[in-house]
Homo-oligomer: A and B are copies of this chain.
């Protein structure tokens, strides 16, 4: 004998009572699969739907999650501050999963502990996790994945594992290709703008690697300038660089952000882009599109995330589906700056 609590949301039992059917009928009609639904007469279905509408019934997610062993929540983990790329990625994920009735949540975490991700995975309120972080953190993700049994997807060009789906971007190869592209168009003094890794993380800098390999292949002598992680500082450094006797005729930047600063610096040094100086960034972010001239950039092609998302859903549906390695090679988006 339960007194109906006014503060509490209506349950299927309430709907059943009002529609004068059994709770299981309500369950079938309100959240069963389509074919099962069709086995009910139109009249019953309407009665139930009306009753639900009248009471403002909406399914209790907690109960459903327990019973179905599925929360219909997918998480994307990242280390703040958010990058424009990650922003775009989440937006695509949000839409893709929403169409399939999944919620998407972002889990920001601190790189040293990754505590919030660990908590999320241990508590098990996620059906899957997509992590966008460096290899150091990726290793943690793999560990959490194995002892929480939650399907995890990571982005890494180097890690080999069967504990998680891995997305390969082939960053190194993309930069090699960019160097070749510049060399082919006659550039000789190509300089790489690098950034110090945050927190002295020891992860491999594949973009720099690609630059060095590319330069060696083109038989050009390489030069790396390490910039401070700060627009103004980058700007100043590029300004000095361009004032040198043997000034570069092309720049490849670790990030679009650095490349944008370089374009500004060139502009104010009276150096024409791309005529006197070609500039290429990495990331293919929105920021690069709003400079004058527009920035050529290397990055993940838009529109190809679907394969990743779908594989995540497959793994949720059937845990026996094996982890795979997905290829999502960076593309060269040639715009006005090169």
- Please list the residues of chain A having a beta carbon within 8 angstroms of any beta carbon in chain B: 7, 9, 56, 58-63, 65-66, 69, 71-73, 75, 80-82, 84, 87, 90-91, 94, 98, 103-108, 110, 115-116, 119-120, 122-125, 147, 149, 230-232, 264, 268, 290-292, 319
Contact = CB atoms under 8 A, between A and B. Distances in A.
Contacts of A84: 81
Given A65-B125, A91-B108, A106-B106, 8 more contacts: A63-B66, A66-B66, A81-B82, A81-B87, A98-B116, A105-B120, A232-B264, A232-B290
The oligomer's copy count stands at 2
The 7 A-B residue pairs with the shortest CB-CB distance in the complex, in nearest-first order: A61-B123, A105-B105, A106-B106, A62-B66, A62-B65, A82-B82, A230-B290
A78 B104 CA distance: 13
Nearest to A78: B106
Given A58-B122, A61-B125, A123-B59, A108 B94 contact: yes
Contacts of A81: 82, 84, 87
A124 B90 contact: no
Given A115-B98, A124-B61, A80 B71 contact: no
A146 to B, nearest CB: 11
